[in-house]
């Protein structure tokens, strides 16, 4: 009996105590000890009393901006209109439908406003790491979409149209236009191909994509010109991936009702 009691104590100590002494980072979901103040994976500072997200010193956390979903005409169906803007959708798709990279997402984070808030000067700040966080809607069957991210070279306007509504409101970007009056030089968005970043978006998860190369490009360009100019980024399925021939993941936009599901940019 003594041996059994000893084993029971060991079982409780090994399995139940760690369960109570661990929590998850609200940003990247990494399991951490309840007394840890900074996530060892993404370095988020955590207030355990109130579960609030706080940026640590010398970092920029950006949660504001504007965005839009665009799609190629080959991705048309009865519920969606490819030539419409979708700047008002709470969710949208990224993936392959009627051709590679036909479902795209544009987002411009207000990095300059965040720098003002944190008292950071873009002319002297040297970013070391930058992560983009995107939350994807759960699906019955798990799906992973390899994606590429590029820095946009032309600004876009988001508009207020919604793919799921049959109204046609030409008031923002589309597959063909960056604004209602200005076309893209290349259909589907103008971007700088040299600064590509790659990642994977999994349905039902909060996904992290390392976009350090893109953010460094924005800062280096601003420091050379003396003017902050970051039109945003564009995200699409990786056209070089031979395995994904159809399918998409649905992600939450900056219009999502739950702010914890909205896209977030973290720069250190």
Per-residue pLDDT tens digits for 13-29: 454 444 434 567 766 66
Q: Read off the pLDDT of residues 46-55 as tens digits, 9 standing for 90 and up.
A: 554 433 344 3
Distances (CA, A) of 210 to 96, 129, 163, 251: 22, 8, 29, 17
Q: Look at residues 145, 148, 149, 123 and name the one whose alpha carbon lies nearest to residue 136.
A: 145
Residue pLDDT, tens place only, 150-180:
999 999 998 777 766 656 666 788 889 999 8
Q: Is the pTM of this model over 0.85?
A: no
Count CB neighbours of 195 within 10 A: 17
| Domain assignments of the chain as residue spans, ordered by start | 2-54, 60-267
Structure-token pair, residue 93: 């798709």
The residue whose two tokens read 């079982």 is 11
Residue of 114, 182, 189, 109 whose CA lies nearest to 148: 189
DSSP 60: E
* List of the chain residues with pLDDT < 70: 1-23, 26-58, 76-85, 87, 163-170, 245
| CB neighbourhood size of 111 (10 A) | 25
For residues 20 and 202, what is the distance between their CA atoms, to the nearest angstrom?
28
């Amino acid at each position: 009996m003594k041996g059994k009691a000893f084993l029971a104590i060991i079982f409780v100590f090994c399995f139940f105590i760690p369960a109570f002494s661990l929590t998850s980072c609200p940003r990247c979901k990494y399991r951490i000890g309840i007394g840890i103040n900074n996530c060892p994976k993404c370095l988020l500072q955590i207030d355990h009393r109130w579960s609030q997200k706080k940026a640590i010193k010398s970092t920029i956390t950006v949660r504001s901006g504007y965005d839009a979903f665009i799609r190629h005409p080959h991705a048309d169906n009865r519920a969606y209109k490819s030539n419409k803007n979708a700047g008002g959708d709470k969710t949208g798709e990224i993936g392959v439908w009627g051709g590679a990279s036909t479902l795209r997402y544009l987002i411009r984070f207000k990095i300059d406003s965040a720098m003002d808030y944190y008292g950071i000067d873009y002319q002297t700040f040297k970013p070391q790491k930058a992560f983009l966080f995107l939350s994807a809607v759960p699906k019955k069957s798990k799906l992973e979409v390899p994606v590429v991210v590029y820095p946009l070279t032309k600004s876009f306007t988001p508009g207020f149209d919604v793919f799921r509504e049959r109204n046609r409101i030409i008031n923002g970007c589309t597959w063909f236009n960056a604004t209602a009056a200005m076309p893209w030089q290349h259909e589907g968005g103008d971007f700088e191909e040299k600064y590509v970043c790659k990642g994977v978006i999994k349905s039902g998860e909060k996904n992290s994509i390392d976009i350090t190369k893109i953010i460094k490009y924005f800062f280096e360009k601003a420091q050379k010109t003396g003017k902050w100019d970051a039109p945003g980024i564009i995200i699409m399925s990786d056209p070089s991936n031979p395995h994904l021939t159809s399918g998409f993941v649905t992600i939450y936009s900056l219009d999502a009702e739950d702010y914890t599901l909205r896209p977030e940019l973290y720069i250190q």
